[in-house]
Amino acid sequence: MNIGVIGSGSWGTALVKILTDNHHDVIWCVRSEKLAEHIRARHHNPKYLSSVYFNSQQLEITTDPAQVYEKANAVVIAVPSAYAEGYITPHLSQVLKGVKIISAVKGMLPSQNMLLNEHLAGIEGFNPANYVTIMGPCHAEEVAGEKLSYLTFAGINPEVTASIAACFKTSYINTVLSEDVIGVQYAAVLKNIYAMGAGIAHGLGYGDNFQSVLVANAAGEMSRFLRAISGEVSSCVNYSSSVYLGDLLVTCYSLFSRNRSFGNMIGKGYSVEATKLAMQMVAEGYPASKCIAALNEKVRADMPIATGMYKILWEAEDPIKAFEKIEAVLI
């Protein structure tokens, strides 16, 4: 299988490492010609996971997404959710011919309040069986260190999903298959919001005891929302498995979590804009909190934690007052 990867951040870089370690030839679309020249000459990404070196014989570098779609029969989208549509819509002719879309996007399209596959499903001629999503729990930094990690691959066609997952299975990556395409993606969206909450709590000075209660309640809140949004599939899903609860835990507690780091700065008194400037990385929980708030106006799941995060991040509610309200409803 010829595989393309679009995205040169830490997660895109990690996925390229996994694929090339597994002896797949990859065409990789990166952000700029300067970065492309550096990777061609020095065989590593100088900005993200710079300790990872690539075999140049297995890697073609480009800055043109069209080349990826022309040469690959499966394309990994590993860019922030706000930019994902822009890397697919101009290339729909190739997508509609059968190029498989492998989404590594851990957010929602903020302009539409929907998941990437939901957007694609609205395009005439798109085959939903050609969409597979990759979810964690899996930090890019631990992939760089080859620490054992698990990736969940979700798609509606088991054969397609299994063939994609096989490309990523290595000595340090175990793969799990799922048919809960909607649920695993919303779980990834929600865990980023809750990780911001964990970070805000830490920044405000709450201790481990409170944070354990916060995260336990977040798990229950996530389950309520997923059951409400997923419909019948929820009855056969185990929400305590790694792609749901596991990803929530690692994102809320890990020092690698950019969403937790974002929240920590908010808790310490930084404004949203100052935090965005200081981090210089996209924390998906920020736009996701607005998307989920809009969705929940229709779903009406009981979500006091996610609602509190939305009010802090988008309505400038005082984090101290917001957490006082959250304290009152935790069990």
Residue positions annotated with a catalytic role: 191
Is residue 105 a contact partner of residue 86, using CB atoms and an 8 Å limit?
no
| Euclidean distance between CA atoms 311 and 323, whole angstroms | 11
The number of residues making up the chain comes to: 331
Count other C-beta atoms under 10 Å from residue 112's C-beta: 13
* One-letter amino acid for residue 61 of the chain: I
Minimal CA–CA distance to 116: which of 75, 66, 69, 176?
75
* One-letter amino acid for residue 204 of the chain: L
Residue 109 β-bridge partners: 114
- For residue 213, is it left (φ>0), alpha (ψ between -120 and 50) or beta? alpha
When computed from its CA atoms, the radius of gyration of the chain, rounded to whole angstroms, is 19
| Token couple for 72 | 């690959």
Q: What is the Cα 84 distance to its own chain's centre? A: 12
| Euclidean distance between CA atoms 52 and 178, whole angstroms | 29
The edge-to-edge listing of strands for the beta sheet with 74-77 is 59-62, 26-29, 3-6, 74-77, 100-103, 131-135, 149-155, 173-178
In Å, what is the CA distance from 199 to each residue of 113, 253, 266? 24, 9, 8
